[in-house]
Chain A
Amino acid sequence: MLIAERFIMSSQFTPNNPLPQEAKVPEEIARFSPEVEAEIERHLAKYPPERKRSAILPLMFIVQRERGGYLDPPGVAYLADRLGVRITDIWEVATFYSMINTEPVGRYHIQVCKTLSCKIMGADRITEQCSKRLGIKPGETTPDGLFSLSVVECLGSCGTAPMLQLGFDYHENLTEAKVNELLDRCQRGEYQPTVGVKTSA
C-alpha cells in the first residue's frame, strides 16, 4: 500500500486534536545507517514478532535522535513502514507523549521541573534565570535554534530540588551559580547533552 493511501484511509484527528503542522503526506521515507538499523532490530526483537507495534516508543526516540530532534515527515513514514501501521497511527501515538517532539526543538532543551517539591525549593527562580539569560519564555526556542526552554512536571528528583533536565541529563540541587555555569558551558559549545535512547539488551 502506498504511504499516501495509508494516510487517507483513516483520519482520527478531531478539531480538538488537530493534525500537527508537519503531518502532511510525506514525500520521502527516511533511511538509516546499518548501525542504527541494527539498534532498531534489537528493540524489535524484544517483542513477539506479531507485536512489532510495541516498539513504537523506543523507535520514535531513535528516529527523533537521528532526524534532528523531532519526528519529521520522512521519519514518520519510516516508522509507519517499519512497524506496518498507518501514518495516522504514528501521529496518534506521537501526540500523546510529551517527550516525542512533533516540531523542531533547540539543541539544548532545558526542562525545568515546576512541580510542588521543586516549586517550594525555588523552581520559579531557576526558570526565571534561564528565561532572562536566554531571552525566551518557557515554550520558546531562541532564534538561532540553540536553546529551547520548557517547564515540565515532576521528574523524580524531588529530594534534590530544584532541578532541570538538559537533553536526558539530570542537573540537581541547582543554585544560581550552577545554572550560570551550565548555560556558559552550553554557549561555549563545551557541553554535549545526551540525546536519544541507546540501548543494548
Chain B
Amino acid sequence: MFIGAIGCEPLQLKRVNLENSHRLDVYRKNGGYEALKKVLDGMSPDDVINEVKKSALRGRGGAGFPTGMKWSFVPKDNPKPKYVVCNADESEPGTFKDRYLMERDPHMLIEGMLIAAYALGSQTCYIYTRGEYRYLIEIADEAIREAREAGLVGEKILGTNFSCNVYTHTGAGAYICGEETALLNSLEGLRGHPRMKPPFPAVAGLYGSPTVVNNVETLTAVPDIIKMGGEAYQKLGTEKSGGTKLWSVSGHVNRPGVYELPMGYDDMEKFIMEDCGGMLNDKKLKAVIPGGSSVYIMPAADILGKDVRMDYEGLVAAGSMVGSGGFIVMDETVDVFESTKNLIEFYKHESCGWCTPCREGTDWLVKVFKRIASGEGRPEDAQLLLDICDNIEGKSFCPLGDAAAWPIQSAIKKFPEDFKRHLARLTETEGALT
C-alpha cells in the first residue's frame, strides 16, 4: 500500500518509509525529540499554546476544532491534576491513517503528547487505542519503554523539572468510544456512553479533571509546529486550515494508501485520477465519500471538472466535509442504495443505545432498508427514510445520530435513481424521489 506525500514535502510522513522507523535511535537521528528539547530549553507553556494557535492546526479527529483554542480552554488555576488523552480509537469506516502513524512513527506521537502535557501543566498522558489494534499497543508500549530509558518519559525529563508519564490503554470494540466523552467514560472503566456537554473535557474530563482529548494526527503535528514555528506550518496550508492533512484512500483506485497533502490541495479530480493511480480496471467514477462514512456522499458530477479544493472550506463548498479524511472511492458498479444500507447497518450496530432517537431510529432505518432490499419496498419508503432521519438529526444525545442520518439524506438526494430502482412500485409522483 502506498504511504507518502503528494504536492508537498512529507512532514508527518517524513520517516514512515525508513527502515526501523519505529525505533528511538532512528527517530532521534531524523530530528526526533528536538522539539521537546526546544520547548524545555526556554519556551513557556503559553509560548507553546501560541505557536499552536498560529499554526491554524485543526483537530484531525473529525470535528476540525482549532487545537490551540482547545488547549487554551484548560483552566490554569484548577488545582486538580490535568490529563492529555490521545484518541487512537480510529473506527470511522474508511479511516486508517492513525494506524500507520502509530505503527511507523510512535515516538512522534509520544513527543507530541509530551509537548501538549507541558503546555497544559499535565503529568499524565493516556493513549486510548481501539482494542483491535493490539499490535499498535505493543509498539507504543515498546516506544514508551525506550523513551523512559532515555530519560524522555518519566521523572525530570531531559534533566529539567518537567515530569510526565505516558500510558497505553485499550478499548474493546465500540465505535462510540471514539467520541471524546464516551472515550473518557470508557477510560474510567464504564460503558462507553457519551456525557452531557458542557462541561467540556477541557474543564471536567477524565476523573472530573481538566482533560484535552486530541486525535493521533493532531498530536503528531505538534513537534513540527514547534520546530518550524506556527506561522511556517500554517503557510503549508491555507489561512484557516494550516499545515498538511493525511487522507486514507480506499475503494476503487489503483493505488489506495495514506496520502499526505497540503491543506488546500486544489484538485480532487487530479488527486483521484493521477495521484491515486486512477480508477481500478478503468471503470468510471461514480461517487466519493471524502471524509469517512459520516460525511455527505459526492457524485462524480460534483468532482470532475470542478476543481474541488481539499480543505475544510473547500469541501463544505463542494457539498461535503473533511471529517476524518477517510476517502472512499466508488466506481460505476456500486449501487448507492446498497452502499448506504451497508453504512446504516454500521451505525445501527454501533449506536450505544443511550438515547431513543438514535437507538430506535437506526434500528428502524435498517428495517426499512432491508424491506426495500427484499423487494417489499413501499412507494412512501424513501420519504419514510427521510422522516426517520429528521427525527434523529439534531435530536440525538451525541453526533453519532447525525452521522447516521447524513449519509442517507445525501444519498437519496444525490442518487435518487439508485433508490428508485429498488422501489420499482414507486408511483411516479409520490415520495421524495420525484
Contacts and interface: CB of A to CB of B under 8 A. Distances in A.
Contacts of A46: 126, 167, 169
Interface in A21-63: 46, 48, 51, 53-58, 60-61
B141 A199 contact: yes
Contacts of B47: none
A131 interface: no
Given A46-B167, A200-B145, A154 B186 contact: no
A97 B182 CA distance: 12
A54 B188 contact: yes
Interface in B248-278: 248-252, 256-258
Contacts of A155: 132
Given A119-B342, A120-B334, A159-B96, A83 B132 contact: no
A83 B189 contact: yes
B173 A99 contact: yes
Interface stretch (A2-10, A138-146, A160-168, A181-189): A160-168
B401 to A, nearest CB: 17
A116 B172 contact: no
B174 A96 contact: yes
Nearest to B255: A159
B170 A197 contact: yes
B328 A116 contact: yes
Contacts of B250: 117, 121, 158-159, 161
B174 A98 contact: yes
A197 B191 contact: no
A154 B346 contact: yes
A119 B341 CA distance: 11
B137 interface: yes
Interface stretch (B35-43, B86-94, B426-434): B86-94
B170 A57 contact: yes
B131 A61 contact: yes
A153 B346 contact: yes
A60 B174 CA distance: 15
A176 to B, nearest CB: 18
Contacts, number: 156
Contacts of A96: 174, 191-192, 352
In this complex, the member of A119, A120, A200 whose beta carbon has the largest number of chain B beta carbons within 10 angstroms is A120
Nearest to A85: B189
Given A51-B207, A120-B334, A154-B346, A97 B131 contact: yes
A93 B185 CA distance: 11
A97 to B, nearest CB: 4
Contacts of A61: 131, 170, 172
A98 B96 contact: no
B175 interface: yes
B145 A116 contact: no
Contacts of B342: 114-116, 119
Contact of B141 (A60, A153, A201): A201
B15 to A, nearest CB: 19
A125 interface: no
A158 B189 contact: no
Contacts of B174: 96-98
Kindly name the residue among B99, B130, B189, B328 whose own CB sees the greatest number of chain A CB atoms within 10 A.
B189
Contacts of A198: 138
Given A99-B132, A156-B132, A165-B132, A55 B189 contact: yes
B20 interface: no
Nearest to A95: B191
B131 A117 contact: no
Contacts of B188: 51, 53-54
A168 B250 CA distance: 22
Interface of B: 1, 90-96, 98-99, 126, 130-135, 137-138, 140-142, 144-145, 148, 167-175, 186-192, 207, 248-252, 256-258, 289, 293, 326, 328, 330, 334, 339, 342-343, 346, 349-350, 352
Nearest 3 pairs of A and B residues by beta carbon? A53-B189, A98-B173, A97-B172
11 contacts: A46-B126, A54-B169, A99-B131, A115-B342, A116-B339, A120-B251, A120-B339, A153-B93, A156-B95, A159-B96, A159-B258
Given A99-B131, A158-B256, A200-B141, 16 more contacts: A53-B190, A57-B186, A97-B172, A99-B132, A116-B339, A120-B339, A121-B251, A153-B175, A154-B91, A154-B346, A158-B95, A159-B96, A159-B248, A159-B256, A168-B135, A201-B144
